[in-house]
Amino acid sequence: MNAQAQAVNLSSDDLLTGAEWNAAQVRELFRLATDVKAHPDRYKTALSGRHLAMIFEKPSLRTRVTFEVGITSLGGSAVYLDHAETHLGDRESIPDVGRCLSRWVHGIVARVFSQQGLETLAAHATVPVINALSDVYHPCQTLCDFFTLEEKFGSARGLKFAYVGDGNNVCHSLLVAGARVGAHVRVATPVGYEPDAEIVAAARRDAAATEGSIELFRSPEEAVSGAQAVYTDVWASMGQESETDARAKIFAPYQVNAKLMSQAAPDALFLHCLPAHRGSEVTDEVMESPRSIVFDEAENRLHVQKAILLTLLS
């Protein structure tokens, strides 16, 4: 089987928000990820000779390991650039970084503080740029999340999906991806922590085309009622550590615990992008329950990101 022939035909060379890919393209990506997961040997030389630059301004376990293992297992190689101390644009301009890397590598994976900086990088790079997390989006994670749910339920179309917590980058990308797979996405946040209104509006337009829906709630119980999937994330994201104590008080009613899960459907599954702060946004009881699929999500980061690399670097 020709691995490259299965790559998704995309109009955009980058994955910056997830909105670049329409519903049909996401469906093709999932089909490719399924084949990659089932038949990894078919793809072990698919990206032979391809080199990936990995710029990480923030800490990472799952994203770094899965991209590095992913490109290597496809026959390519990765160069890791630790910018934890020197952020993009500090030592040299972001446009210059993009131009230089484009002369040496075939793709750039970037975990950054600023979505704007990421988009500047992509605008000046002549190779694909992949968002490995920014302050606004985390598309690789949420594509993996809905891929995992399709494995469990057969399809995410019509799935009742509840997100409880901060309207952050993960929440934004869940809205984008959920709209594309036709899920009914419900988001519950405290006052002042809602997802970006423009992202919500765009997701609602996209959901209308896939017969999905986007709803915002204040009550976590209302959002979770009857849901088949319940998702949460940390209350203070990377870069918001100074707000941890204040947010803990505000978000306490949004903890995913056994009582909240009891409001969901009997077959409801629990998801978390990890790392989890057990005892804060989620309890140990939920994390370690048979309903939890957090480590299935973590595994699938590898397979979905391999499919992304095949799509963009082939």
At 55-94, the pLDDT tens digits run 999 999 999 999 999 999 999 999 999 877 667 888 899 9
116 flagged as catalytic: no
pLDDT digits (tens, 9 = 90+) for 210-265: 999 999 999 999 999 999 999 999 998 767 777 888 999 999 999 999 999 999 99
Which residue is catalytic, options 138, 180, 247, 303?
A: 138
Residues 111, 172, 186, 291: which is the catalytic one? 111
pLDDT of residue 91: 86
Percent of the chain residues topping a pLDDT of 90: 89
- Is the same domain home to 168 and 256? yes
pLDDT score recorded for residue 87: 77
Pair (151, 268) in one structural domain? yes
In this prediction, residue 9 carries a pLDDT of: 53
So what's the pLDDT on residue 113?
92
The CATH number linked to 146 is 3.40.50.1370
CA–CA distances in Å: residue 314 to residues 17, 18, 46: 20, 19, 7
CA dist., res. 24 & res. 18, Å (int): 13
Do 159 and 293 have their domain in common?
yes
Query: In the structure encoding, which two tokens stand for residue 66, read together?
Result: 């899965």
pLDDT > 90? residue 12 = no
152 and 248 fall within a common domain: yes
Shared domain check, 293 and 201: yes
Question: Does the annotation count 218 as an active-site position?
Answer: no
- Is the domain of 282 the same as that of 175? yes
Q: Write the single-letter amino acid at 42.
A: R
151 in the same domain as 263: yes
Amino acid at residue number 157: R
Q: Among all chains, which residue has been given the structure tokens 């992202």?
A: 199
State mean pLDDT over 1-12.
47
Whether omega for the bond prior to residue 275 falls within 30 degrees of 0, making it cis, is yes
Which amino acid would we find at residue 21? W
* Residue 171 annotated in active site: no
* 150 and 28 fall within a common domain: no
- Annotated catalytic, 233? yes
- List, for residues 113-172, the tens digit of each pLDDT value: 999 999 999 999 999 999 999 999 999 999 999 999 999 999 999 999 999 999 999 999
- What proportion of the chain, given as a percentage, has pLDDT over 70? 95
Where residue 6 falls among pLDDT bands split at 50, 70, 90?
very low
How far is the C-alpha of 306 from the C-alpha of 32, rounded, in Å? 9
Three-class secondary structure of residue 209 per DSSP: helix
Q: Where are the alpha helices (DSSP H) in the chain?
A: 23-38, 62-73, 94-104, 115-124, 139-153, 169-181, 197-210, 220-224, 244-251, 258-261, 284-287, 294-313
Catalytic entry in 50, 180, 247, 301: 301
Task: Evaluate if residue 4 carries a pLDDT over 60.
Answer: no
- The alpha carbon of residue 269 and the mean position of all alpha carbons in its chain are separated, in whole angstroms, by 18
Boundaries of domain holding 262: 140-297
| Residues near 107 by beta carbon (within 8 Å), at least 6 away in sequence | 50, 51, 52, 53, 127, 128, 129, 130, 309, 312, 313
DSSP 223-257: HHTT-SEEEE--SS-TT-GGGHHHHHHHHGGG-B-
CB atoms within 10 A of CB 293: 20
Reply yes or no on whether 138 is catalytic.
yes
Phi, psi of 39 (to 5 degrees): -135, 65
Structure tokens at 128: 């694909």
Considering the domain architecture, whether residues 199 and 161 belong to the same structural domain is answered as yes
Catalytic-role residue among 233, 247, 255, 272: 233
- The mean pLDDT of the chain is 94
Do 132 and 185 lie in one domain? The reply is no
Q: Is 205 a catalytic residue?
A: no
> What is the distance between the alpha carbons of residues 84 and 253, in angstroms, rounded to a whole number?
33
Count of domains for the chain: 2
- Cβ–Cβ < 8 Å for 291, 268: yes
The DSSP call for residue 272 is E
Given the residues 166, 247, 273, 291, the one annotated as active site = 273
Residue 268 has pLDDT above 60, yes or no: yes
Order the strands of the 184-188 sheet from edge to edge: 213-217, 184-188, 160-164, 229-232, 269-272
Average the pLDDT over 282-306 and give the result. Answer: 98
* Pair (116, 145) in one structural domain: no
SS3 assignment, position 180 = helix
Side-chain-side CA neighbours of residue 284 (13 Å): 0
Q: Coil, helix or strand for 77? A: strand
pLDDT band at 200 (very low <50, low <70, confident <90, very high): very high
- Let me know whether 183 and 76 are in one domain: no
The catalytically annotated residue of 6, 141, 255, 305 is 141
